[in-house]
Amino acid sequence: MPIRPHAPSRREFMKRAAAVAAPCVVPSWALGLDGAVAPSERIAMGFIGIGGQGGGHLFGGAWTYITGGYLGREDVQVLGVCDIVRQKRENARERVNKFYSDKPDKGTYRACEAYNDFRDLLAREDIDAVLIGSPNHWHAPMSIMAAKAGKDVYCEKPSAITIREGQIMAETVKRYGRVYQAGTQQRSEYGGKFRMACELVRSKRIGELKDVYANIGGAQINWQRGFGAGKPVPDGFDWDLFLGPAPWSPYGTIPAHPFVFDGGNWEQHHYDFVQWAIDADRTGPVEIGVENGHAVYRFASGVVVHGAPYPGEKVGGSGGACFVGTEGRIAVDRDALVAYPPKIAEKPLGPNDVHVYKCISHSGNFLECVRTRKRTICDAETAHRAASFVLLGGIAQRLGRTVKWDPAQERFIDDPEASRLLSVPTRPPWRL
């Protein structure tokens, strides 16, 4: 990872220490000894959006799987917090600073700053990476601007609210050589159940895969759904910046997430895992139709993905899916993995079976890749494809008919009506 200009490297620190005439004791934290992380090796992070999800990542929550969240990690230094609600950002800054100032060995503790406008945080050259937990319609624009500012990005779901902005996000991350991790932690957490199911399916333990049931339909833009219009803007709440690229409207008339069908957040969990299991992280369906009100996706391989539960199967609703092959089926979610017949999952996978990217900590994987510059387990292209998966189903459902899709060119085939739904107008100056 890049060394920040004001933070001396370990070698520079030792040279300075040796230059002092009087004997001195160099503390272990400065050398990275006894399990400590040297200051020059810590990843400096900023957090954008510190409500429920973002605050959980910062301080520790049910989905972070590590005590104390990123703040509690010895290899991270939190230098900035940002939120359009004054009380949230000021409380977060005080909490971060108290945590660092209370540590017995403060080392090179530097104060955390609070920001209303995320662009001020991105302008800091001493911040290496950001975690984006903002409202959904901000995810892709902030990721794009962060990548252009030279920051690595961990972004919550949905990765984008339109297919076009997802394309721009993935292209920008690649062009600027940034590390990106989507918050689809099922690839890393939950005891490896999702990874095991993925490997069993791709190793053909259920024979030839025919159908997948993703338990949930697509998603689409729906700016008009309100949550309590007519109220005055609360003091310390930057409503204009909250709206950002969304159409202007009075306070309280635009949803915190611009999706129908549960907001696109939950759907991306399901479809991210489905595309992982069918080896589609770099492609997509060729046809999307509608059956009994839910989306149906057909792939060039012949696999059909249904945006609905498998009849009678209870496992698979919690972020999972059910895979049906010629010799059996497997259903998995955050709580369980079941196989029919059971012997499908009883025999351990061997060296000649298919094995996929393995990690056991989603946040840890992100930080490791920031240091090594390797690809994360859910990089920008993978995240974009999963979000597109969801959005394609939403477009077919909105039109109420079948659409043809070219996954290589990422465009609808001879369908101007569907093509108009690849993007939505945005409010200046937030046009991508």
CATH code at position 138: 3.40.50.720
Mean pLDDT, residues 345-353 taken together? 94
Q: Domain boundary residue among 187, 205, 229?
A: 187
Mean pLDDT, residues 124-146 taken together? 96
Say how many domains are in the chain: 2
Report yes or no on 363 lying in a domain.
no
Residues 126, 153: one domain? yes
- What pLDDT was estimated at residue 187? 96
Report yes or no on 430 lying in a domain.
no
Instruction: Please state the three-class secondary structure of the chain as a single string.
Output: CCCCCCCCCHHHHHHHHHHCCCCCCCCHHHHCCCCCCCHHHCEEEEEECCCHHHHHHHHCCCCCCCCCCHHHCCCEEEEEEECCEHHHHHHHHHHHHHHHHCCCCCCCCCCCEEECCHHHHHCCCCCCEEEECCCHHHHHHHHHHHHHCCCEEEECCCCCCCHHHHHHHHHHHHHCCCCEEECCHHHCCHHHHHHHHHHHHHCCCCCCEEEEECCCCCCCECCCCCCCCCCCCCCCECHHHHHCCCCCCCCCCCCCCCECCHHHHHHHHHHHHHHHHCCCCCCCCCEEEEECCEEEEECCCCCEEECCCCCCCCCCCCCCEEEEECCEEEEECCCCEEEECCHHHHCCCCCCCCCCCCCCCHHHHHHHHHHHCCCCCCCHHHHHHHHHHHHHHHHHHHHCCCEEEECCCCEECCCHHHHHHHCCCCCCCCCC
- Between 34-48, 154-168, 251-265, 354-368, the lowest mean confidence (pLDDT) is in 251-265
Tens-digit pLDDT profile for residues 159-175: 999 999 999 999 999 99
The residue among 39 and 204 whose pLDDT is bigger is 204
In the numeric block, which tokens belong to residue 159?
């990765």
Please give the mean pLDDT across all residues of the chain: 86
Residues 141, 271: one domain? no
Mean pLDDT, residues 298-304 taken together? 98
- What pLDDT was estimated at residue 13? 31
Report yes or no on 179 lying in a domain.
yes
15 pLDDT higher than 80:
no
- What pLDDT was estimated at residue 52? 84
Tell me which residue has tokens 């969801």.
390
- What pLDDT was estimated at residue 276? 98
Q: Domain boundary residue among 187, 208, 243?
A: 187
Residues 72, 163: one domain? yes
218 pLDDT higher than 90:
no
Residues 284, 417: one domain? yes
Report yes or no on 130 lying in a domain.
yes
Residues 32, 141: one domain? yes
- What pLDDT was estimated at residue 303? 98
- Between 27-36, 38-47, 309-318, 407-416, the lowest mean confidence (pLDDT) is in 27-36
pLDDT band at 220 (very low <50, low <70, confident <90, very high): low
pLDDT band at 6 (very low <50, low <70, confident <90, very high): very low
In the numeric block, which tokens belong to residue 83?
């939120």
74 pLDDT higher than 50:
yes
pLDDT band at 253 (very low <50, low <70, confident <90, very high): low
The residue among 66 and 206 whose pLDDT is bigger is 206
- What pLDDT was estimated at residue 101? 92
Report yes or no on 251 lying in a domain.
no
Residues 153, 208: one domain? no
Cβ-proximal residues to 45 (8 Å cutoff; 6+ apart), any chain: 70, 76, 77, 78, 79, 80, 127, 128, 129, 130, 131
Residues 309, 338: one domain? yes
CB 99 within 8 A of CB 70: no
- What pLDDT was estimated at residue 318? 86
The residue among 11 and 112 whose pLDDT is bigger is 112
Residues 120, 164: one domain? yes
pLDDT band at 389 (very low <50, low <70, confident <90, very high): very high
CB 381 within 8 A of CB 283: no
Residues 396, 292: one domain? yes
pLDDT band at 38 (very low <50, low <70, confident <90, very high): low
- The CATH number of the domain where 385 resides is what? 3.30.360
Residues 18, 146: one domain? yes
- What pLDDT was estimated at residue 265? 67
Report yes or no on 316 lying in a domain.
yes
Residues 54, 133: one domain? yes
260 pLDDT higher than 90:
no
Q: In terms of residue numbers, what domain contains 21?
A: 10-187
pLDDT band at 106 (very low <50, low <70, confident <90, very high): low
Residues 173, 208: one domain? no
Report yes or no on 368 lying in a domain.
no
Tens-digit pLDDT profile for residues 369-382: 999 999 999 999 99
Report yes or no on 297 lying in a domain.
yes
Cβ-proximal residues to 381 (8 Å cutoff; 6+ apart), any chain: 170, 174, 281, 282
CB 287 within 8 A of CB 301: no
10 pLDDT higher than 90:
no
407 pLDDT higher than 90:
yes
The residue among 336 and 264 whose pLDDT is bigger is 336
- What pLDDT was estimated at residue 263? 44
